[in-house]
């Protein structure tokens, strides 16, 4: 392929307070690496950044280990409501769905809305749009998520959120998860795209809206693209994704933009993480929590953030 730039890719499966043991870490790593390998192959075969982002989000949504699509957490009334958005950095168009139910891949609805006059739809509107597209109905509920909800209902929903990684052997019993998935891609023609999808934080009030279908949590221009994870309200308060991208547009390096934004988030006691790419192919990530479940392909090899030990940390490749 005749590439203008070397394609780059970074994905995340949420953030949290801990992975229980090495076995848990390796299980998550295998899941992430398999997705990175397949999506990067699509980029190397000439696939566009948006195609790669949608493919990566689909694969993460289909993996019940992660809180998006199949394996999404339940809200306080026992229902699964999912949100997702896609943003093309070249056209600078964001599209998405909020609190949609009974679909397998919310990112596909976000993709279909890219060409729509009305590009972000919520609950009933999103459901009607799915019917218009003849998207098959699908129940994303897993037995593990139902068990988690039933146990928490007995405790009168004292937890503020569910676990980020569904498999119980991967998460310590008292681990607080911040569940979202995201993909950022730079294709061989220099185009950036980003997608983010979530089942929410779990046990939340009906109608609560996350950051995942907002520029606060999912944003891209020709300069940079960012997908966020963590406490949605904290991400919204920081307007994190858009803040990082605007700083890059205004002349900061991606690493400096991430560092300043996460320093501010740490100072404000926010609980969040983010992955990012810029137009030159720099890969960056940051977190204010213990674990950011992310992996990347830098053009030569696959790496990840799973063993980054410091709670407040920014990395760049």
As annotated, the active-site residues are: 180
Contact 204, 213 (CB under 8 A): no
What is the spatial distance between Cα 78 and Cα 124, in angstroms, rounded to a whole number? 18
Count of CA atoms in the C-beta half-sphere (13 A) of 194: 36
Q: Which long-range contacts (CB under 8 A, 24 or more apart) does 251-255 make?
A: 253/278, 253/282, 254/224, 254/278, 254/282, 254/284, 254/316, 255/282, 255/284, 255/314, 255/316
Contact 218, 89 (CB under 8 A): no
Residue 122 vs residues 96, 194, 308, 317: alpha-carbon distances, Å: 9, 20, 36, 36
Q: Determine which helix (DSSP H) or strand (DSSP E) holds 244, and give its type and residue range.
A: helix 240-249
């Amino acid at each position: 392929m005749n590439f203008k730039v070397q394609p780059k890719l970074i994905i995340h499966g949420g953030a949290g307070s801990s992975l229980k043991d090495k076995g848990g870490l390796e299980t998550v790593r295998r899941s992430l690496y398999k997705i990175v390998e397949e999506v990067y192959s699509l980029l190397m075969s000439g696939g566009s950044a948006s195609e790669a982002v949608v493919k990566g989000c689909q694969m993460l949504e289909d993996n019940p280990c992660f809180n998006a699509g199949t394996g999404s957490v339940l809200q306080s009334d026992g229902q699964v409501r999912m949100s997702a958005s896609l943003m093309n950095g070249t056209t600078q168009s964001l599209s998405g769905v909020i609190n949609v139910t009974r679909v397998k891949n919310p990112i596909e609805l976000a993709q279909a809305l890219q060409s729509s006059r009305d590009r972000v739809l919520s609950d009933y509107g999103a459901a009607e749009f799915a019917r218009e597209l003849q998207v098959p109905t699908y129940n994303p509920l897993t037995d593990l998520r139902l068990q988690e909800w039933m146990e928490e209902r007995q405790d009168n929903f004292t937890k503020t959120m569910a676990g980020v990684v569904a498999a119980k052997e991967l998460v310590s019993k008292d681990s607080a998860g911040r569940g979202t998935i995201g993909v950022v891609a730079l294709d061989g023609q220099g185009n950036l795209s980003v997608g983010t999808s979530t089942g929410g934080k779990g046990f939340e009030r009906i109608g609560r809206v996350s950051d995942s279908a907002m520029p606060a949590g999912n944003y891209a221009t020709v300069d940079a693209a960012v997908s966020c994870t963590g406490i949605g309200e904290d991400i919204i308060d920081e307007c994190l994704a858009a803040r990082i991208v605007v700083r890059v547009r205004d002349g900061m390096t991606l690493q400096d933009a991430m560092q300043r934004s996460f320093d501010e988030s740490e100072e404000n006691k926010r609980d969040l993480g983010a992955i990012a790419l810029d137009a030159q192919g720099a890969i960056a990530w940051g977190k204010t929590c213990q674990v950011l479940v992310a992996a990347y392909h830098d053009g030569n090899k696959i790496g990840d953030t799973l063993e980054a030990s410091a709670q407040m940390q920014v990395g760049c490749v």
